[in-house]
Amino acid sequence: MAILVLEDGRTFHGETYGAEGETYGEAVFNTGMTGYQETLTDPSYHRQVVVMTAPHIGNTGVNDEDQESRRIWVAGYVVRDPARRASNWRSRRSLDDELRAQGVVGISGIDTRALTRHLRERGAMRCGISTTETDPDALLGRVRQQPEMKGADLAGEVTAMQPYVVPAIGEKRFTVAAVDLGIKGMTPALMAQRGIEVHVLPATATIADIEAVDPDGVFLSNGPGDPATADVTVLQDVLERGIPYFGICFGNQLFGRALGFGTYKLVYGHRGINQPVMDRTTGKVEVTAHNHGFAVDAPLDAATETPYGTATVSHICLNDDVVEGLELRSADGTLKAFSVQYHPEAAAGPHDAAYLFDRFMDLMGDNT
Ligand SMILES: NC(=O)CC[C@H](N)C(=O)O
């Protein structure tokens, strides 16, 4: 037996799934039909309780290849109908066992459609899951004492403490300093495939740490928490020096803030693997993977002059016109820096946006 209580008091009764105990986090929903292992191990989900809208979860078990980081980060996991047995040639253990082994409290057997509709209407909100508490009011009291996602500074809790290098595959073309704010493993992997030697640096990296690797480009990763809490002076130093810059998700929000834009919290966010985005620089529409609860507040149809160049919104989400990408050009129109709010590393997700890694190569001076 387990209960899930939302901060507005709505309560769901279900079964224990994963570890026993009690957990709290921001309740958010993910609409991906596949890729639960990548979702669970995405550090951007730190402090979030993830509700899967796909009703049947765990079918392919857990393998040793698809994790995006060293552990599961979600604070809690909500599914409707867990697979009774895992079946896949790569599967090593069941998802239930993996959640239990990593101490992740979950709940199954609840109406995830009703829960998702509630979150769509009322917005992402704090929640608690408990396998030990039987009184929803008592749990509700504790839920309301938890910190909100707005104002949460979390990158320091997920970043690598020590720098490390992901070597280029084949001939080395470029060196990139990648600041780990909660980086997913597929990002350096896709860079390495293109001949980039990736120096992954802790979130606390200074401009001196970045310059010490003599990078051809700088990258800021995805990551958990409210972008309004992060310090953007290091990124502003990067832009001032004219070092080519590429950012993903949190790295897009920080790029926005470095350029002088604000960020705000979306009502329920974008989390899934089939979100339509238009690249306004080419007019092409791509189907993309998302995981963001905040967004950049920038004018959609006007260029903005910044101390570093002219900034424009390069990508928008076709569902709701949310800013999905930014670019910075010099007075002669040359691209200097860019970022996207979504996930070209596509783990999980479609590969439509992989061209952005090639765009980064071009930005660093690739002429092939
Ligand atoms: N995946 C991410 O980088 C998420 C960025 C930020 N934490 C948000 O929720 O919007």
Question: What is the interface pTM, i.e. ipTM, of the complex?
Answer: 0.97
Q: What atom in ligand 1 is closest to the CA of residue 154?
A: 7
Q: What average pLDDT does this structure show over 278-305?
A: 97
Distance in Å, CA 225 to ligand 1 centroid? 6
Residue 368, pLDDT > 90, answer no
- Given the residues 68, 286, 324, 345, the one annotated as active site: 345
Distance in Å, CA 221 to ligand 1 centroid? 10
* Residue range(s) occupied by CATH 3.40.50.880 in the chain: 155-363
CATH code: domain 155-363 is 3.40.50.880
Distance in Å, CA 198 to ligand 1 centroid? 22
Ligand 1: which residue has its CA nearest to atom 7? 224
Q: What mean pLDDT is reported for the chain?
A: 97
pTM of the model: 0.97
For ligand 1, residues with CB inside 6 Å are: 44, 222-225, 227, 249-250, 291-294
The tokens for 171 are 């001939």
- Given the residues 127, 249, 292, 315, the one annotated as active site: 249
Distance in Å, CA 44 to ligand 1 centroid? 6
Four-CA torsion 110, 150, 254, 315, nearest 10 degrees: 50
DSSP for 181-250, written as a single string: SS--THHHHHHHHTTEEEEEE-TT--HHHHHHT--SEEEE---SS-GGGS--HHHHHHHHTT--EEEETH
- 10 Å CB burial of residue 28 (0-12, 13-18, 19+) is buried
What φ, ψ does residue 278 adopt, rounded to 5°?
A: -105, 130
Q: What atom in ligand 1 is closest to the CA of residue 251?
A: 3
- Confirm whether 343 is a catalytic residue: yes
Cis ω for the linkage preceding 205 (within 30 of 0): no
Bridge-partner residues for 218, per DSSP?
177, 245
Give the integer Cα–Cα distance in Å for 30 and 116.
Answer: 9
Percentage above 70 pLDDT, the chain: 99
pLDDT in tens, 70-125: 999 999 999 999 999 999 999 999 999 999 999 999 999 999 999 999 999 999 99
3-state secondary structure of 274: strand
Distance in Å, CA 320 to ligand 1 centroid? 17
Q: What atom in ligand 1 is closest to the CA of residue 263?
A: 10
Q: Under a CB-based contact definition with an 8 Å cutoff, are residues 30 and 146 in contact?
A: no
CATH classification for the domain delimited by 2-143, as one of 3.40.50.1100, 2.120.10.30, 3.50.30.20, 3.90.1150.10: 3.50.30.20
Residue 367, pLDDT > 90, answer no
Q: What atom in ligand 1 is closest to the CA of residue 291?
A: 1
**Which of 47, 26, 4, 9 has the alpha carbon at shortest distance from 141?**
9
pLDDT value of residue 218:
98
pLDDT value of residue 188:
98
* Residue range(s) occupied by CATH 3.50.30.20 in the chain: 2-143
- Confirm whether 305 is a catalytic residue: no
Going by the annotation, the residues of the binding site for L-glutamine are 44, 223, 225, 250, 253, 291, 293-294
pLDDT in tens, 328-365: 999 999 999 999 999 999 999 999 999 999 999 999 99
pLDDT in tens, 59-71: 999 999 999 999 9
Q: Under a CB-based contact definition with an 8 Å cutoff, are residues 152 and 47 in contact?
A: yes
Helix (H) or strand (E) holding 284: strand 284-297
- 10 Å CB burial of residue 6 (0-12, 13-18, 19+) is buried
